[in-house]
Amino acid sequence: MKINKLILLFVTTLFLGSCSNDEQGSTIESEVETPVTVKASFSYTISATDPYVAIFQNTTESSFQYQSLWDYGLGEGKVNVGSGLVEVRYNEVGNYTVKFYAVYNGVTTEESKTIKVDENGICPNGLCGSTSSTSLKDAATTFAVGNITRSSWVIGSGKYIELLKNEFNSLTSEYEMKMNVMYPAQGSYNFSAADAIVSFAQANDMYVHGHALIWHNATPSWVENFSGTDAEFEAMVKAYITTTVTRYKGKVRSWDVVNEALEDGSGNPLRKSVFKQKMGDDYIKKCFQFARDADPDVLLFYNDYNMASSATKRAAMFTLVDELGDLIDGVGAQMHISYNGPSASQIKNLADGVISRNLKLHFAELDIRANPNNDLTVLSNDRAKAQSAKYKEVVQIYNSIPLENKFALTVWGVRDNESWLIDFWGNADWPLLFDSNYNKKLSYYGFLGGLQ
Ligand code: 9MR
């Protein structure tokens, strides 16, 4: 069995206080000396980033210099690791009796606790199989925690449905609330998949974030090849947005009105989409106005990627957003990032820009590549830890923005093996919070740790 022990912090408990035994003895000679003992005491918590790791703390109260010894219940007997916090990993399911000893004046006192470990890690409060452990949505008390789904997944029951309902309180359709699916042929809408997702969310008290009314990558071919005048094109877009937003009025909390309108290249101009070509450079403003007119209460977002890593794209986005004035409620910052970047300060810069404009911030489409350089064939412990730390960092940044700017943090997928990234990059990766068996990964605990 492998035991990892790491002394994190040395707490000074070993020094004599200013009032020593000797001083007392010399000034009050007539008092009978009672033997002094030091009462051993310790506590432990479960690591936020690794459910199999207990963090032990010596909580003995004494100003006397005593010796402290641990027995972690792993068959090693007593070990002296000094004082401070100690991390111990319990790799195997079982019950472990942990003892802490304080030795002073020839007297040894001890405290003992039982650590129970099941297949999910150390059981909180010794309650194995407890379903009362905090879920992501419960831990995030000031914003929604979302994930994506598909209409074929929200029917029936099973592990997936349980997990989705337990951990998340906001849903985004992965691809079925885009124009190519909702409006596949002229004059013929198909809302069946979107309806299924929205109904499921309503039945389970979850928000729906509508994604995305206009996206150059999800435009049906009849729209790309529109036959008609520019005025007819614009009327068609107006009717589509009005029909869709009206249909889900009161059921959808928010919409990405336009997605990824900016080029990646120099200057980050508007992409030359069919919408720009036919409706003009102010097509985004027009689309926001159509949506606003259809539902004055729904929150309207502009959504795009790489805005933390690219300062120029961020600047172009803010120019675009500023031109929208009161029509826009928030910015969706897609968080398709990697374990090693963008940096916390880049992410904060983006958040600060949104906050300074009094807009809502959506950390959207969160997934964190563990293998961006394709140097792994399996997820190593070190990389899993680094990925978990990045999740924690992102969540901490989001959790620390002002309440009025908070909206939701949406993870882009549940199981690693279902992530769009695998096909997109064509190499192995494990970017999400759950493995292919729906087990929580270290990344899950990193996310949770960011909320604490
Ligand atoms: O993950 C989505 C994938 O299943 C779809 O096939 C694709 C096209 O609809 O969209 C993917 O999600 C994208 C999102 O809508 C916008 N940002 C980039 C995402 C990954 O491509």
pLDDT tens digits, 371-425: 999 999 999 999 999 999 999 999 999 999 999 999 999 999 999 999 999 999 9
Residues 98 and 32 placed together within one structural domain of the fold: yes
Pocket test for ligand 1, best of 175, 255, 421 (most atoms within 8 A of CB): 175
Q: Does residue 150 sit in the same domain as residue 291?
A: yes
pLDDT at 114 over 50: yes
Q: Which residues make Cβ contacts (< 8 Å) with residue 128, sequence separation at least 6? A: 116, 118
Question: Which CATH number characterizes residue 418's domain?
Answer: 3.20.20.80
Chain centroid to CA 310: how far? 22
Which active-site residues does the annotation give? 260, 365
Closest residue to atom 5 of ligand 1, CA basis: 175
Strands 94-104, 121-122: pairing kind: unpaired
Three-class SS of residue 387? helix
Q: For residue 3, which of 92, 113, 125 has the smallest C-alpha distance?
A: 92
Average pLDDT over every residue of 210-234 = 98
Check whether residue 103 and residue 228 sit in a common domain: no
Least confident of 19-23, 115-119, 285-289: 19-23
Ligand 1: residue whose CA is nearest its atom 2: 174
Q: What is the pLDDT of residue 122?
A: 87
- Which residues lie across from 415 on neighbouring strands? 434
Degrees, nearest 5: CA angle 226-229-232:
80
Neighbours of 23 (CB within 10 A): 11
Rg of the Cα atoms in the chain: 28
Distances (CA, A) of 447 to 19, 111, 383, 390, 399: 46, 33, 15, 9, 11
Length of the chain: 452
Are residues 278 and 161 part of one domain? yes
119 and 211 share one domain: no
Domain hosting 4: range is: 1-126
Query: Within 13 A of 119's CA, how many CA atoms are on the CB side?
Result: 4
CA distance 40 to 418: 50
Give the mean pLDDT of 121-128.
76
Q: What does the pLDDT read at residue 57?
A: 84
Q: What is the 3-state secondary structure (H, E, C) of 31-62?
A: CCCCCCCCCCCEEEEECCCCCCEEEEEECCCC
Q: Answer for the pair 434, 444: CB distance below 8 angstroms, yes or no.
A: yes
Distances (CA, A) of 358 to 316, 344, 361: 18, 21, 9
pLDDT of residue 263: 98
Q: Residue of the nearest CA to atom 6 in ligand 1?
A: 175
Cβ neighbours, 10 Å, residue 373? 9
Considering 97, 126, 155, which residue would you say is the last residue of a domain? 126
Amino acid code (one letter) for 394: V
Residue nearest to atom 14 of ligand 1 (CA): 174
Q: Which CATH number characterizes residue 49's domain?
A: 2.60.40.10
* Distance from residue 379's CA to the centre of ligand 1 (Å): 24
198 and 303 fall within a common domain: yes
Residue 218 Cα: closest atom of ligand 1: 9
Question: pLDDT tens digits for 4-59?
Answer: 443 333 333 333 233 333 333 333 444 555 668 899 998 887 776 678 889 888 88
Instruction: Give 424 Cα–ligand 1 centroid separation in angstroms.
Output: 10
In sequence order, the β-bridge partners of residue 136 are none
180/252 Cα distance (integer angstroms)? 19
Report the separation in Å between the CA atom of 422 and the middle of ligand 1, taken as the mean of its atom positions: 12
Q: How much is the pLDDT for 331?
A: 99
Torsion angle (degrees, nearest 10) of CA 88, 92, 95, 98: -20
At 109, is the pLDDT very low, low, confident or very high (cuts 50, 70, 90)?
very high
The domain boundary, picked from 87, 104, 126, lies at 126
| Mean of pLDDT over the chain | 90
Q: What is the pLDDT of residues 83-95, one digit of tens each?
A: 777 889 998 889 9
Regarding whether 286 and 149 lie in a shared domain, the answer is yes
Q: Are residues 159 and 270 in the same domain?
A: yes
CA of 211, closest atom in ligand 1? 15
Higher-confidence residue of 121 and 340: namely: 340
Sheet holding 53-58, edge to edge: 5-9, 85-89, 53-58, 42-46
> Does residue 171 share a domain with residue 40?
no
**pLDDT at 393 (0 to 100):** 98
Is the pTM higher than 0.85? The answer reads: no
**Residues whose CB falls within 8 Å of the CB of residue 174, separated by 6 or more in sequence, listed in order:** 148, 149, 150, 412, 413, 420
- The span from the CA of 224 to the CA of 207, in Å, is 31
Contact 405, 354 (CB under 8 A): yes
Q: Are residues 30 and 119 in the same domain?
A: yes
Indicate whether 268 and 374 sit together in one domain: yes
Range with lowest mean pLDDT among 8-12, 248-252, 333-337: 8-12
The domain boundary, picked from 73, 96, 126, lies at 126
The reported pLDDT for the residue numbered 376 is: 97
Atom 10, ligand 1: residue with shortest CA distance:
175
Atom of ligand 1 nearest to the CA of 259: 16
User: Among 226, 215, 190, which residue's Cα sits nearest to residue 365?
Assistant: 215
Instruction: Assess contact for 273 and 237: CB atoms under 8 A.
Output: no
Same domain? 37 vs 169: no
Number of domains in the chain: 2
The pLDDT value recorded for residue 6 is 37
Q: Which residues, at least 6 apart from 400, have a Cβ–Cβ distance to it below 8 Å?
A: none
Question: Ligand 1 pocket: which residues have CB below 6 Å?
Answer: 174-175, 178, 218, 259, 334, 365, 420
106 CA to centre of ligand 1 in angstroms:
68
337 C-alpha to center of ligand 1: Å? 15
Q: What is the pLDDT of residue 48?
A: 63
**255 pLDDT more than 80:** yes
